[in-house]
């Protein structure tokens, strides 16, 4: 019999049975059959229906079953197979999946058993587990973009035994500034590999033309148009008044900052610098008609870039009949409340101007004005 099993001894059909170990008197059993569990010589005495007795004996040999060394559980990364090749004793082999080979590739996780049978048909079995290890999870996120001149960091978490980027970097974080597909391969402590990739798009800044920087005199031109020309899909915003028009009209000198944003969300700012510089000059009429019709009733100086203004008016005898320090205030053709007579009058104007060197220069202007009716 095979080790670990019981044999069946059958004494045939008689009236009585006595099973003993050979040479011993102790009766081990009185049934027709007997199940020995050890390797011994057993004797059987039977009695028939006539009371006659007969004795026989049988030798029971125990055949050792094959010894299978303990089979360790097998592991592989998810989706991979593994070669199972346990150290099996001599004999025929049967796997739980029906295979009869002594080794095989397994590609389905689960519990497996192996039975080895000897030539005498004694068998032994063992079980083991084939386990898939989880693939390491790594996710670089959604595709994204930014504007040229900028950069972005792409990262994977800590805890992997190795990290390798498509750029060749082996750090957890890389900095990117060009368009492309960036992928990463990570390996965990079990040698399992996970991958991820992300597309990065770097967009150009908007193109535009603008009014050049200028030096102007607003006292002469009144206003100036500033214009930015860009694509029709681009948006322009002026910091001056948050206008979104491509053209604005200005009346003062200062830096004018604007921002152009294209359809991809990329922005570029620039500044149009307007500086004011007026050539100093002064103008006076040569005649007035102070008759109350509001037309040419005043003798008034008009000046550009003039400082410290003074104006004197004298009659033909050299008598001062009018004086003012306000360039906006003109002479109305009167003296001491009365309309002066038709005549020619002398004026003297003193003023300070800013010359081209940045210094101040005192000037004098002398001339005549005729009073008419």
Whether 265 and 243 have beta carbons less than 8 Å apart is answered as: no
Whether 323 and 312 have beta carbons less than 8 Å apart is answered as: yes
Domain ranges of the chain: 9-59, 74-133, 144-202, 208-276, 281-371
* pLDDT tens per residue across span 301-325: 988 878 889 999 999 999 999 999 9
Q: Note whether 208-276 and 281-371 share their fold.
A: yes
What is the predicted pLDDT for the residue at 358? Answer: 64
What is the predicted pLDDT for the residue at 105? Answer: 96
Q: Which residue, 161, 163, 155, is CA-closest to 198?
A: 155
* pLDDT tens per residue across span 19-75: 998 878 898 899 999 888 788 898 999 999 998 999 999 988 888 888 999 999 999
Its pTM stands at: 0.60
How far apart CA 230 and CA 55 sit, in angstroms, is: 121
Rounded-to-10 torsion of CA 227, 232, 234, 237: 40
Q: Which residues of the chain have pLDDT under 50?
A: none
CA distances from 222 to 137, 219, 243, 249, 361 (A): 68, 6, 21, 10, 26
What is the predicted pLDDT for the residue at 356? Answer: 64
Q: Which residues contact 358 (CB under 8 A, 6 or more apart)?
A: none
Q: How far apart are the first and last CA of the chain?
A: 156
CATH annotation of 281-371: 2.60.40
CATH annotation of 208-276: 2.60.40
């Amino acid at each position: 019999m095979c080790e670990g099993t019981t044999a069946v001894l059958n004494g045939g059909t008689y009236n009585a049975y006595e099973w003993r170990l050979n040479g011993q008197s102790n009766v081990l059993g009185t049934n027709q059959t007997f199940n020995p569990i050890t390797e011994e010589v057993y004797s059987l005495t039977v009695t028939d229906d006539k009371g006659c007795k007969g004795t026989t004996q049988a030798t029971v040999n125990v055949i050792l079953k094959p010894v299978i060394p303990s089979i360790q559980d097998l592991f592989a990364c998810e989706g991979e197979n593994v070669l199972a090749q346990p150290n099996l004793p001599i004999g025929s082999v049967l796997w739980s999946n029906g295979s009869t080979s002594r080794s095989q590739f397994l590609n389905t996780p689960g519990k497996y058993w192996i039975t080895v049978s000897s030539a005498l048909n004694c068998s032994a079995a063992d079980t083991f587990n084939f386990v898939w290890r989880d693939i390491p999870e790594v996710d670089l996120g959604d595709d994204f973009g930014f504007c040229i001149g900028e950069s972005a960091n792409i990262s994977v978490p800590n805890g992997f035994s190795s990290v390798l980027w498509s750029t060749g970097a082996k750090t957890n974080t890389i900095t990117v500034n060009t368009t492309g597909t960036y992928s990463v391969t990570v390996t965990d402590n079990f040698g399992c590999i996970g991958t991820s990739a992300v597309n990065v798009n770097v967009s150009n800044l908007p193109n535009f033309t603008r009014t050049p920087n200028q030096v102007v005199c607003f006292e002469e031109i009144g206003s100036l148009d500033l214009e930015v020309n860009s694509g029709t899909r681009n948006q322009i915003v002026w910091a001056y008044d948050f206008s979104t028009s491509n053209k604005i009209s200005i009346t003062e000198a200062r830096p004018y900052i604007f921002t152009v944003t294209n359809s991809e969300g990329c922005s570029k700012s620039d500044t149009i610098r307007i500086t004011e510089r007026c050539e100093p000059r002064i103008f006076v009429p040569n005649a007035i008609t102070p008759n109350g019709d509001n037309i040419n009733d005043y003798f008034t100086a008009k000046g550009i870039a003039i400082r410290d203004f003074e104006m004197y008016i004298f009659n033909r005898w050299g008598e001062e009949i009018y004086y003012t320090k306000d360039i906006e205030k003109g002479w109305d053709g009167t003296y001491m409340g009365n309309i002066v007579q038709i005549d020619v009058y002398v004026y003297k104007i003193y003023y300070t101007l800013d010359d081209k060197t940045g210094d101040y220069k005192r000037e004098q202007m002398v001339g005549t004005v005729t009073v008419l009716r």
